[in-house]
Amino acid sequence: MTSPEGQPAGPAPRRVAVVTLGCARNEVDSEELAGRLAGDGYELVADGEAADAVLVNTCGFIESAKKDSVDAILAATDSGAEVIAVGCMAERYGAELAGALPEATVLGFDDYGAIGDRLDDVLTGRPLVPHTPQDRRTLLPISPVQRSAATQAPDAPSIPGHDWLRRKRLASGPSAALKIASGCDRRCSFCAIPTFRGSFVSRPAGEVLGEAQWLASQGVTEIVLVSENSTSYGKDTGDLRSLEKLLPQLAAIDGVVRVRVAYLQPAELRPGLLEVIAATPGIAPYFDLSFQHSSPTLLRRMRRFGGTEDFLGIIERARALAPGAGFRTNVILGFPGETEDDVAELERFLTEGRLDAVGVFGYSDEDGTEALGLPGKLDQDEIDARVRRITDLVEELTAQRAEERIGSTAEVLLTEDLSVDDEPGTWAGHAAHQDPDADGTTTVSGVPGDALAGQVVRAEVVDTEGVDLVARALLPAPAATAVAETAGV
């Protein structure tokens, strides 16, 4: 085969498809891996049927997520392409997963820096030895000063998602996640994440700002800050106010109209940070708080802090600053030792808290966690019954909370033009209290014809459909009216 100039053509680029499971943090990791592969000469394709290799970025958080990851790996093998498993489940189980799924090659986080070489190995038939998992919390020092220095060392452990210069967007749309840190230093008794994600490591503010500017250059207008625990940002570098300082700088970036913070830890939500999130222009007054439960007794068994009154206090303080603030959380039902009184206490909190979105999960034993050995395990049937009970309550309460927003004004970020010939100016989007992926949507009518995805329009909420809002765009005030309002008339 020759090129149009008559010169022998080089080999066709190898094609790779990337499949991502799990959270927004994994999405960032996948885009970093995609960027590295593109830099190594791989062509990114959307469909495994057209690929030489399928990279499956797995989730290893809870039992159901692990099952989804295994199903995705097996489905990828149907394409006939080579299948490579990466991500949390691959890191967590290593050689064990490779033995259970010989159809796939299993790689760990420390392979990310040379991911192109590893795929070359797979495609040329060079054997790879799966890694033996280790507790990644032990790979970095405990001391913040020592940890910061250790992450810069040549032999530092790989920290997924921290090489944004190589990042390549796989998703379209005006919202994108930006990882501000990796790992977690907390020791919740039900959670294994720190053992395979490692110690908490903040990214330098300059690096975060640089990535945000790059995302804005790619057409992103809403940035969602993610990590395992965003309230810990800067703790490992000795500055607990790092996030408070960073947020206004992010909001000031040209092209960015909204910054949202996800994964806040209630026990670390300092008053100053709460105020910055609630009252800074350009920062969504949105609180994604990891409550997990509200019974103080049960939370202590979970190695967590607070309880109903503490959590209601946080919500009250935020609403005093931003009455329309959004709140979401996740809760676990059926944790070992959970009593009927504990469930009733959770019901009280959810009823009084008036949250906008709540994820409800049933407890499952996780390898390597303290809860695995706790007494008081509940039967699965009882766990399932409690999940259904709280899920039903949450659906009712969140729908009521949405109805409370009727008549209010929402700042809606437009994402998709739904207009048809006889109904122009209808868009899908999400308000400031709605995460772009998890918390419902807002449908806006009466949007001007020159609107574009990524713009924010002011709209009046006129109806609801469950947690979703229906709104009507508010046209800008005429100049004379605007001047009169400014003058206090």
E-state strands within 156-202:
175-179, 181-182, 201-202
Mean pLDDT of 256-282: 97
pLDDT of residue 7: 54
Instruction: Tell me how far apart the alpha carbons of residues 82 and 464 are, in angstroms, rounded to a whole number.
Output: 46
Q: E strand or H helix at 18, and its extent?
A: strand 15-20
* 188 is an annotated ligand-binding site residue: yes
pLDDT of residue 39: 94
* 473 is an annotated ligand-binding site residue: no
pLDDT digits (tens, 9 = 90+) for 111-152: 999 999 999 999 999 989 999 999 998 888 888 778 877 887
Fold of 408-473: OB fold (Dihydrolipoamide Acetyltransferase, E2P) (2.40.50)
Q: Which amino acid is at 383?
A: I
Instruction: Tell me how far apart the alpha carbons of residues 355 and 399 are, in angstroms, rounded to a whole number.
Output: 10
pLDDT higher than 80, residue 251: yes
Residue 70 phi/psi, 5° resolution? -60, -45
pLDDT of residue 154: 81
408-473 shares the fold of 146-404:
no
C-beta separation of 52 from 14 below 8 A: yes
- Inter-CA distances, 362 with 343, 439, 468, Å: 13, 20, 25
Instruction: Tell me how far apart the alpha carbons of residues 131 and 442 are, in angstroms, rounded to a whole number.
Output: 45
- Inter-CA distances, 486 with 243, 475, 481, 482, Å: 33, 17, 9, 6
Mean pLDDT of 84-101: 94
Q: Which amino acid is at 86?
A: V
The architecture of the domain spanning 15-132 is 3-Layer(aba) Sandwich (3.40)
pLDDT of residue 65: 82
C-beta separation of 439 from 289 below 8 A: no
pLDDT higher than 80, residue 163: no
Q: For residue 283, what are the β-bridge partners?
A: 259
pLDDT of residue 436: 93
Mean pLDDT of 296-305: 97
Q: What is the mean pLDDT of the chain?
A: 91
Instruction: Tell me how far apart the alpha carbons of residues 364 and 62 are, in angstroms, rounded to a whole number.
Output: 7
* 23 is an annotated ligand-binding site residue: yes
pLDDT digits (tens, 9 = 90+) for 327-345: 999 999 999 999 999 999 9
pLDDT digits (tens, 9 = 90+) for 424-468: 899 999 999 999 988 899 999 999 999 999 999 999 999 999 999
Q: E strand or H helix at 32, and its extent?
A: helix 24-39
Share of the chain above pLDDT 70, in %: 94
Instruction: Tell me how far apart the alpha carbons of residues 356 and 328 are, in angstroms, rounded to a whole number.
Output: 6
For the domain covering 146-404, report its CATH number. 3.80.30.20
pLDDT higher than 80, residue 489: no
Instruction: Tell me how far apart the alpha carbons of residues 110 and 146 are, in angstroms, rounded to a whole number.
Output: 21
pLDDT higher than 90, residue 480: no
- Inter-CA distances, 262 with 93, 167, 284, 319, Å: 27, 20, 11, 18
pLDDT digits (tens, 9 = 90+) for 360-377: 999 999 988 999 999 999
Residue 81 phi/psi, 5° resolution? -80, 160
Beta-strand pair 175-179/181-182? unpaired
DSSP 224: E
- Inter-CA distances, 436 with 164, 358, 425, Å: 22, 15, 21
Task: Say what the alpha-carbon torsion angle 214, 215, 216, 219 is, to the nearest 10 degrees.
Answer: 120
- Inter-CA distances, 234 with 76, 113, 160, 200, Å: 39, 25, 18, 10
Task: State the pTM of this model.
Answer: 0.91
* 184 is an annotated ligand-binding site residue: yes
Predicted confidence band at 60 (pLDDT cuts at 50, 70, 90)?
A: confident
pLDDT of residue 487: 32
Predicted confidence band at 5 (pLDDT cuts at 50, 70, 90)?
A: low
pLDDT higher than 60, residue 229: yes
Helices (H), 357-462: 380-404
pLDDT of residue 11: 66
Q: What is the DSSP string of 318-347?
A: HHHH-TT-EEEEEEEES-TT--HHHHHHHH
Q: Structural domain boundaries of the chain?
A: 15-132, 146-404, 408-473
* 88 is an annotated ligand-binding site residue: yes
Close Cβ partners of 409 (under 8 Å, ≥ 6 residues apart)? 458, 459, 460, 461, 474
C-beta separation of 60 from 30 below 8 A: no
Listed range (135-144, 196-205, 393-402, 428-437) with the worst mean pLDDT: 135-144
